[in-house]
Homo-oligomer: A and B are copies of this chain.
Amino acid sequence: MNECKTTPTKSIRFSQTKKWHYKTDVSVIGYGGAGACAAIEAADAGASVTIFELSSGAGGSTALSSAEIYMGGDGGTRVQAATGHNDTNQAMIDYLSACAGPQADADKIKAYVEGSRDHFNWLVEQGVPFKDSEYKERAIMALTDDCLLYTGSEKAWPFKEIATPCPRGHNLEVEGDNGGPLFMKILGAAVERREIQVHFNCRALALIQDDTGVIRGIRIREDMQEKNVLVDRGVILCTGGFSMNRAMLKKYAPNLLRCSEPIGNPGDMGTGILMGMGVGGAAINMHEGFVSIPYYPPASFTYGLFINAQGQRFINEDCYHGRVGAYILQQTGNRVYLVLSAEDYGDYEQVSYLGASVAGTGETIAELEQELGLPKDQLVQTLQTYNNHAKNGEDPVFHKCSEWLKPLNAPYVALDVTPGRGAFYPYFTLGGLDTRPSGEVLNPEGSIITGLYAAGRTACGVPRRGAGYNSGISVGDATFSGRMAGKAAAARVK
């Protein structure tokens, strides 16, 4: 991670820009999932389009991801329908709204859901392969070429009481964790089939703004030279979030620095967010991030109990790993453990991404409690209560679903999952520029900054809370919001 920021926020004045090196209707900054989709839609709407990308190839953080895509609603995508899932817009809206909680953007969720089935079809048209099959394991991602899986907390309390559960994570038809590279290869080919100019190894330096505030171009640096790009319809910022910018994290999302590893590509420096702020754009929800604690596989760890320094449970362990991560960061006290029956420990060391070490073991739970230095009888009581109910298939305390309930038998083992003590806590940022569903960037009063658009993690999109994250919602939101911004920018009349 870089301690320094590299891009100034300050815009350049149009009236003082004398020479124009390039001219385009729509300029897309950043060639990841959002940028590719923005460029394709803008080109298909008849605009001339130029992509400027810092690195020497397409991909961005999307290519580094699993590229699961969160889609559904309206009777179901082709895959949902083929696998017998009758999803509805209402269920998907209710679910995503609960996920975002008080931070929800109702307009954005509505647009995303109502456009979701069409988004699936659009991706298929671009050549993205989805198999009409379901992956039924509880996993961070499908490592087979199967498509549909639960990638959030849909079946977990309290969400299951809010919206009818439905799997919405769509995995590409490819073996292994190879969705991202394939997905970006396909989108890259779709870009290449169109009349879209692409400049690699090219840094966006600043926006060019006229005296009325309208964004009229960008200044770039390529081949050791600063150049000006005249943009007739719109600049679309698709430069990712700010996970790799330590100074920005410290300023805006210091709590995320308690995690172990920012994920994304080295260009996730907040460049686009800073450029947007520099012309008056509002950056919102800047403290939030996705925080994972990848404790499954093995799925058997879901039988276990997360325990805080008070020896209490604090979450239903059948929910999404990112929700658990968000709650772990909230715990008072200096330790968090995952307590397991040894019989569920299984092939942890082979299959897990967790990297947590064993903090203690016990022939009895009292022995484990003592070894962990927990307050006397707290863990004993917690487990006793849990086991008493679990044998009846119930969890009246945290409502873990019966599928993952069974009494935990001795001997016991506890993993130390305290943030900062060795466990893997990958994270990325969820704050960004405030935009309309069209991608138009808003100032703090909610007025549009004419000619400026943002998509993907440069914008604050549908995913808004670590505690309500779902795998596939960021690539889903990036590609969908990219398309919306591409359409809107292409349609802008000067």
Contacts and interface: CB of A to CB of B under 8 A. Distances in A.
Given A158-B332, A332-B398, 4 more contacts: A310-B398, A315-B332, A376-B396, A378-B385
Identify the 3 closest CB pairs spanning chains A and B, nearest first: A102-B254, A375-B396, A5-B445
Nearest to A311: B397
A182 interface: no
Contacts of A312: 312
Contacts of A313: 310
Given A277-B282, A284-B252, A312-B312, A444 B397 contact: no
B397 A9 contact: no
A386 to B, nearest CB: 11
A128 B158 CA distance: 53
A17 to B, nearest CB: 14
Q: What's the interface size class on A, roughly?
A: 35 or more
State the majority secondary structure of interface residues on A: loop
A397 B378 contact: yes
Contact of A385 (B248, B377, B434): B377
B443 A9 contact: yes
Contacts of A286: 284, 286-287
Contacts of A381: 381, 385
B278 A280 contact: yes
Interface string A261-294: 0000000000000100110101011111000000
A330 interface: yes
Contacts of A434: 251
Nearest to A4: B445
A258 B102 CA distance: 8
Name which of A252, A327, A381 has the most chain B CB atoms within 10 A of its CB.
A252
A247 interface: yes
A434 B252 CA distance: 10
Contacts of A443: 9-10, 278
Interface of A: 5, 8-10, 13, 101-103, 158, 211, 213, 247-248, 251-252, 254-255, 257-258, 274, 277-278, 280, 282, 284-288, 310-315, 327, 330, 332-333, 375-378, 381, 385, 396-398, 434, 443-446
7 contacts: A103-B255, A247-B446, A277-B282, A278-B443, A310-B397, A312-B312, A332-B398
A446 B277 CA distance: 13
A444 B258 contact: no
Contacts of A158: 332-333
Contacts of A284: 251-252, 286
Given A280-B10, A375-B396, A274 B445 contact: yes
B314 A9 contact: no
B444 A277 contact: yes
B251 A444 contact: yes
B9 A280 contact: yes
A125 B443 CA distance: 44
Contact of A213 (B10, B251, B257, B258): B10
Given A103-B254, A254-B103, A248 B444 contact: yes
A83 to B, nearest CB: 31
B385 A102 contact: no
